[in-house]
Amino acid sequence: MRLGVGVKRWLLLVFVGELGLALAGALWLRQVYRDFVVTGPPQAFLSAITLQFLPYGIRALIVGAAGVALFAFGAWRMVRVLVTPFVPAEADQPLVDVIYQKRFLARGPKIVVLGGGTGLSTLLRGLKVRTSNITAVVTVADDGGSSGRLRESLGIPAVGDIRNCIVALADAEPLMGELLQYRFPGDDADALGGHTIGNLLLAAMASVQGGDFEEGVRQMNRVLAVRGQVVPATATAVTLHASLVDGSEVVGQSAIAKSTGIDRVWFTPEDVVACEDARKAIGEAELIVIGPGSLYTSILPSLLVPGIIGAVRASQALRVFVCNVATQPGETQGYDLADHLAAVERHTTPGLLDVVLANNQFAARRPGAYSAEPVRLRWPPASVWPQSNTPRLVLDDVVNPDNAHHHDPARLAASIMKIYERESLGRRRSRAARTA
């Protein structure tokens, strides 16, 4: 309930009641003073504590000042008691700053991000300090590790990427992250071996909600005080398939991630229904961000859901594709910027993207244990994209300076917000010119 909607009238009634009680008490004391305390020490004592030796105006001023001080102190303590449970314990800043920050974030743009994996959670960590109106639409095609085992035993969609996004958007991220990401020691032979707390909580919440996976994720958002919301692309457990350029077919997200020469991906069953929260958020969005993440096993599967891609096509929001900063061995080995965009084009529709954001800083440190390379900045030729469907390319330094294989959350979010502000201003000017 918002303060002011059916609340102020009752606060006024409470104030009038307290005022009546105060007046009744004053009248009672006045009568006691006149009728029972006429002479002797009691009269002298009461005269002293009621400041009878001072002029009436000064007495009223002193009592009024004391009342204001008590009221202000009591109101301040009451606000702290009511608000403290909603403030992160580690927030080392004044309460007024915390409240202002939450109000600032609540006025931020409505952003929908689509994808999964490490790239999506990295982006969410950067965006959540700029707006709380975030919806992460997460792919559910994972079939490996703890997610795969829960999927086989319980028949629920993959929960690993959903867990990572909830951790990224949780207000108490460090503590909550340690809990949700804790993995029980052991292997698949153990009942709990290899499972994470977060995956088990999501599976349990879906069971508590009568097997309704979408409602289970929705309740997890509320229980864990997520800034924004995390929703699955679909509540159906899907199996990812890929056809390779040599004509062979690979089944399963884990196997596809290791494959080279991927031509097209799809999943079964094909007639899955998009989650209602995802469709609604896309319809209300002011900015849609696709990526970053694993191209064929995270980004594209979230767009393959018919209801999702249909909502993205129909949306009036600005649509930004964030290209990965590095290739992935197997899945996108040897890919450049044009190859990433060609894959999106094959699986979606011409003219889907308004802006493409790519990294132009190649001096970041490269970990030696990972055989990847920076994504080269080759733009598709004009024959591939007609002029009317060509998105605008934006180059910026968005890489983690300590790890050339990952985006930097703060830099990536700042670059996306600059694109949004610039493009939004341009759209407003264009509409103003058409109506002038």
How many structural domains compose the chain? 1
User: Which 3 state secondary structure label does DSSP give 49?
Assistant: helix
Q: Is residue 83 part of a domain?
A: no
What would the mean pLDDT of 330-358 be, rounded to a whole number?
93
Q: Is residue 177 part of a domain?
A: no
Cα–Cα dist 181/197, whole Å = 6
Most confident of 7-21, 136-150, 310-324: 310-324
Cα–Cα dist 246/156, whole Å = 33
Contact 301, 309 (CB under 8 A): no
Q: Is residue 373 part of a domain?
A: yes
Cα–Cα dist 10/396, whole Å = 54
Cα–Cα dist 332/295, whole Å = 7
Reported as a pLDDT band with limits 50, 70 and 90, residue 26 is confident
What percentage of the chain exceeds 90 in pLDDT?
50
Among the residue ranges 110-114, 179-183, 324-328, 356-360, the one predicted with the least confidence is 179-183
Q: Is residue 78 part of a domain?
A: no
pTM above 0.85, yes or no: no
What percentage of the chain exceeds 70 in pLDDT?
84
pLDDT digits 0-9 by tens, 367-385: 877 778 999 999 887 666 6
Q: Is residue 243 part of a domain?
A: yes
- For strand 134-138 and strand 355-359, is the pairing parallel, antiparallel, or unpaired? unpaired
Q: Is residue 14 part of a domain?
A: no
pLDDT value of residue 153: 84
Q: Is residue 39 part of a domain?
A: no
Range of the domain at 356: 109-154+225-435
- The CATH number of the domain holding residue 125 is 3.40.50.10680
Say which amino acid occupies 63.
Answer: V
What would the mean pLDDT of 195-201 be, rounded to a whole number?
90
Q: Is residue 184 part of a domain?
A: no
